[in-house]
Amino acid sequence: MRPSRKKNKDGILTKIKDFRKYGSYWKGDAMKGYVCKICSFISINGSAPEKCPVCGAPKAAFEEKEEAVKTPNDSNNLTELEKKHIPVITVVRKCGLIPEGCTDVHVKMGEIQHPMEAKHYIMHIDFYIDKELISRIMLTPDKLNPAGALHIKAKGGRLTVIELCNLHGAWIKETDL
Ligand SMILES: [Fe+2]
């Protein structure tokens, strides 16, 4: 029993240390959002929803945060941390699965591949069109790569992708569909 308790305690301490370290070396910018305290969904349309589109939590569960989502300081000169976390989006106009009326969106984290280990991994990827959530892909570290894909029916719009790293927070990338 004792070694197991010690291991858990060490794990928590390690996480806190990493968070402190991260807070001191991340020099990028951030975007405001309303964050669900239950499931970490981030509303980016300027207000908290009446009901969380992911977990159904009420508006009162949302917290306004000035630094809800991380963005790079200089998108032409990304740091290593930014290269590991900012989603890389590939839009494939012709879908191989649904030949008519489908646009594939492939996302990976990131330009440098992010780890997928129990201690450090990408927890989920949220997709938005015109600032409204269209899908969340949940990721587990053991058997999945830090990536996800959707088959989109919409003919256009602004696609936003926000991923959540368990240690380094939420990161955003946008593109036109
Ligand atoms: Fe990370």
Dump pLDDT digits (tens) for 150-159: 999 998 999 9
Between CA 85 and CA 73 the distance in angstroms is 13
- pLDDT at 27 > cutoff 80: no
- Mean pLDDT score of the chain: 86
The CATH superfamily assigned to 2-176 is SOR catalytic domain (2.60.40.730)
Centre of ligand 1 to C-alpha 75, Å, is 18
Domain extent listing, the chain: 2-176
Centre of ligand 1 to C-alpha 175, Å, is 22
Instruction: Look at 86 and 6; give whichever has higher pLDDT.
Output: 86
Tokens representing residue 87 in the block: 């989603």
Total number of residues shown for the chain = 177
Centre of ligand 1 to C-alpha 156, Å, is 31
Measured CA distances, 106 to 89, 93, 151, 167 (Å): 6, 11, 9, 23
Question: Which one, of 100, 109, 98, 99, lies nearest residue 164 by Cα?
Answer: 109
Centre of ligand 1 to C-alpha 96, Å, is 32
Contacts 24+ apart (CB under 8 A), 22-26: 22/81, 22/167, 22/168, 25/81, 26/70, 26/81, 26/168
Q: What tens digit of pLDDT does each residue of 65-120 get?
A: 999 999 988 888 999 999 999 999 999 988 878 877 899 999 999 999 999 999 99
- Taken in order 36, 78, 131, 154, the sign of the CA dihedral is negative
Centre of ligand 1 to C-alpha 122, Å, is 7
- pLDDT at 1 > cutoff 60: no
Contact 124, 169 (CB under 8 A): no
pTM (predicted TM-score): 0.84
Question: 131: number of CA atoms within 13 Å, CB side?
Answer: 10
Centre of ligand 1 to C-alpha 28, Å, is 15
Centre of ligand 1 to C-alpha 101, Å, is 35
Q: What is the pLDDT of residue 21?
A: 44
Centre of ligand 1 to C-alpha 1, Å, is 31
